[in-house]
C-alpha cells in the first residue's frame, strides 16, 4: 500500500468522522437527557439531506446557508415529535419509547418514499480540492469538518455557558430534583429532543454535500450513530465526537487492509464488544 494513499484515506476518514460525530451527538444528547433511544434519528438525518438538496436545487441557496434553515426546521420538528409521540410515554418502560420513536421513523420514511421514491439523489456541488504533495482532499469535506467543529463548540457553549443549558444538564442529572428546583422539565425535554434532531439534520445536510443519498440512507448513519454513541459513552456529547473520529479513522484504515465490505463487520463487532466489556463507553457515560 502506497503511504500517500493511506494518508489520504486517514485524513478523509477523520474529516468524515467529525460529521458522524455530530449525528451521534444528537443521539447521545437525547439519550443522556431523557433516557430515550431515538429510532427516528435516521429519518431525520435523511430529511436533513433532502432539505439541503431541495433548497440548493430549487432556490439555489448555498448549502451551508441552507444548513441554518434546515437546522431551524429540525429544532421545530423535534419539538413537535416530542409533544406528539414521546411526552405521553416518557416514564413508561423502554419498549414504549423505542416503539414510539420507531413509529415516527415509519411515518417519515413512508412519507419520504411516497414523495421522493427510494432512488438515489446526488448534489451537484463542489468546492474544488486541496493538494498536499500526494494527498488530495475535497473542499466540501474540509468545510464539513469545520462546520461540525463549529456546531460542537456552539453546543458546548449552550450547555455550559447559558442558563437554559444549565437546566438541560440539571434535568439530565436528576429530573425529579430539577423539577423541585422549579425547572420546567417537560419543556427542557422537548428542547433537548429538538436539539438532538437539529444535530441529526445538520449532519445529514453536511453528508449530502459529498455523498449520494436516498430516503433510506438515514438508517445506515443511524446505526453508525449507535456505534459511535456507545463507543464514546451514551449521554456524553464530547465522547460522541471522539467516537466519531475513531469510527472515521476505522473506516479510513480498514479498507487499506481488507476488502471494503468487511468494514461494517468490524464496526458492529466492536459495538457489541464495547457494550459487553465497557457499556459506559471509552470516555465514560452520563450514568
Partner 1 sequence: MKDQQQSSVALPLPAGRAAHALGVWRNPGLWLVLAVVGLAGAYPIITNQAAIREAIFTILLSIALASSLNILLGYTGYVSFGHVVFFGLGGYLGMYLLSSGVSLPVAVLAGGMIAGLLAFLLGSAILRLRGAYFALATIGINEAMRTFISNFGPFGGPTGISLNFAVYKPYGGAAQALWLTYYSLLILTLVAIVLSFQIKHSKFGLGLRAIREDEDAAEVMGVVTPRAKTWAYVLSAIIPGMAGVLFFFKNGNIEPLDAFRLHFSIELLVMVMLGGQGTVLGPVLGAAGYQQLRGFLLTNPTFKDYQLVLAGALLLLIVLFIPAGAIGWLRSRFPRLRRVLP
Report how far Cα 126 is from the mean position of its chain's Cα atoms.
23
Q: What is the distance between the alpha carbons of residues 100 and 144, in angstroms, rounded to a whole number?
A: 32
Residues between 26 and 45 that touch partner 1 (CB under 8 A): 31, 35, 37
Q: Tell whether residue 119 is a contact of partner 1 (CB under 8 A).
A: no
- Cβ contacts of residue 198 below 8 Å, gap of 6+? 26, 71, 72, 74, 75, 78
Give least dist CB 287 to partner 1, A.
Answer: 11
Q: Which is nearer to partner 1, 31 or 56 (CB)?
A: 31
Q: Choose, by CB under 8 A, the member of 14, 109, 144, 178 that binds partner 1.
A: 109
Q: Tell whether residue 128 is a contact of partner 1 (CB under 8 A).
A: no
Q: Tell whether residue 223 is a contact of partner 1 (CB under 8 A).
A: yes
Among candidate residues 50, 88, 39, 65, the one with its CA nearest the CA of residue 197: 39
Give least dist CB 271 to partner 1, A.
Answer: 4
Q: Tell whether residue 271 is a contact of partner 1 (CB under 8 A).
A: yes
Give least dist CB 269 to partner 1, A.
Answer: 5
Among candidate residues 238, 215, 8, the one with its CA nearest the CA of residue 115: 215
SS3 138: strand
8 Å CB contact between 233 and 284: yes
Q: Choose, by CB under 8 A, the member of 1, 163, 176, 276 that binds partner 1.
A: 276
Q: Which is nearer to partner 1, 28 or 209 (CB)?
A: 28
Burial class (CB in 10 A: 0-12, 13-18, 19+), 216: middle
Q: Tell whether residue 16 is a contact of partner 1 (CB under 8 A).
A: no
Q: Choose, by CB under 8 A, the member of 76, 262, 284, 287 that binds partner 1.
A: 262
Strands (E), the chain: 129-132, 135-138
Q: At what angle do helices 217-232 and 41-59 cross, to 10 degrees?
A: 130
Q: Tell whether residue 106 is a contact of partner 1 (CB under 8 A).
A: yes
Q: Tell whether residue 287 is a contact of partner 1 (CB under 8 A).
A: no
- Cβ contacts of residue 157 below 8 Å, gap of 6+? 165
Q: Choose, by CB under 8 A, the member of 94, 126, 153, 180 that binds partner 1.
A: 94
Q: Tell whether residue 259 is a contact of partner 1 (CB under 8 A).
A: yes
Phi and psi for 259 in degrees, rounded to 5? -55, 150
Q: Choose, by CB under 8 A, the member of 105, 197, 217, 225 that binds partner 1.
A: 105
Q: How many residues bind partner 1 (CB under 8 A)?
A: 42
Unique residue bearing C-alpha cell 459513552: 233
Q: Choose, by CB under 8 A, the member of 8, 275, 278, 282 that binds partner 1.
A: 275
Q: Which is nearer to partner 1, 113 or 173 (CB)?
A: 113
Determine how β-strand 129-132 pairs with β-strand 135-138.
antiparallel
- Cβ contacts of residue 88 below 8 Å, gap of 6+? none
Residues between 191 and 210 that touch partner 1 (CB under 8 A): none
- What residue ranges bind partner 1 (CB under 8 A)? 31, 35, 37, 84-85, 88-89, 92-96, 98-100, 102-107, 109-111, 113-114, 223, 226-227, 230, 259, 261-262, 264-265, 268-269, 271-272, 275-276, 279
Amino acid at each position: 500500500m502506497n503511504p500517500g494513499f493511506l494518508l489520504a484515506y486517514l485524513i478523509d476518514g477523520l474529516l468524515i468522522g467529525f460529521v458522524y460525530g455530530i449525528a451521534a451527538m444528537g443521539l447521545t444528547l437525547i439519550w443522556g437527557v431523557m433516557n430515550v433511544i431515538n429510532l427516528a434519528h435516521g429519518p431525520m438525518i435523511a430529511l436533513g439531506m433532502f432539505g439541503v438538496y431541495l433548497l440548493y436545487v430549487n432556490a439555489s441557496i448555498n448549502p451551508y446557508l441552507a444548513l441554518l434553515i434546515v437546522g431551524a426546521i429540525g429544532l421545530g420538528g423535534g419539538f413537535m415529535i416530542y409533544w406528539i409521540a414521546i411526552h405521553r410515554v416518557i416514564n413508561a418502560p423502554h419498549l414504549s419509547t423505542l416503539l414510539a420513536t420507531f413509529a415516527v421513523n415509519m411515518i417519515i420514511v413512508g412519507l419520504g418514499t411516497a414523495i421522493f421514491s427510494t432512488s438515489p439523489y446526488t448534489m451537484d456541488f463542489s468546492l474544488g480540492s486541496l493538494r498536499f504533495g500526494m494527498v488530495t482532499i475535497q473542499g466540501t469535506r474540509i468545510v464539513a469538518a469545520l462546520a461540525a467543529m463549529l456546531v460542537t463548540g456552539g453546543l458546548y457553549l449552550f450547555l455550559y455557558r447559558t442558563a437554559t443549558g444549565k437546566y438541560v444538564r440539571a434535568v439530565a442529572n436528576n429530573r425529579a430534583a430539577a423539577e423541585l428546583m422549579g425547572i420546567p422539565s417537560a419543556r427542557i425535554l422537548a428542547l433537548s429532543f429538538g436539539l438532538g434532531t437539529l444535530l441529526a439534520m445538520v449532519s445529514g445536510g453536511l453528508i449530502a454535500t459529498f455523498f449520494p443519498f436516498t430516503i433510506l440512507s438515514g438508517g445506515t448513519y443511524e446505526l453508525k450513530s449507535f456505534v459511535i454513541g456507545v463507543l464514546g459513552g451514551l449521554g456524553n456529547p464530547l465522547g460522541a465526537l471522539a467516537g466519531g473520529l475513531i469510527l472515521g479513522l476505522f473506516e479510513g484504515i480498514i479498507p487499506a487492509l481488507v476488502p471494503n465490505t468487511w468494514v461494517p463487520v468490524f464496526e458492529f463487532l466492536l459495538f457489541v464488544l464495547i457494550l459487553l466489556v465497557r457499556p459506559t463507553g471509552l470516555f465514560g457515560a452520563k450514568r
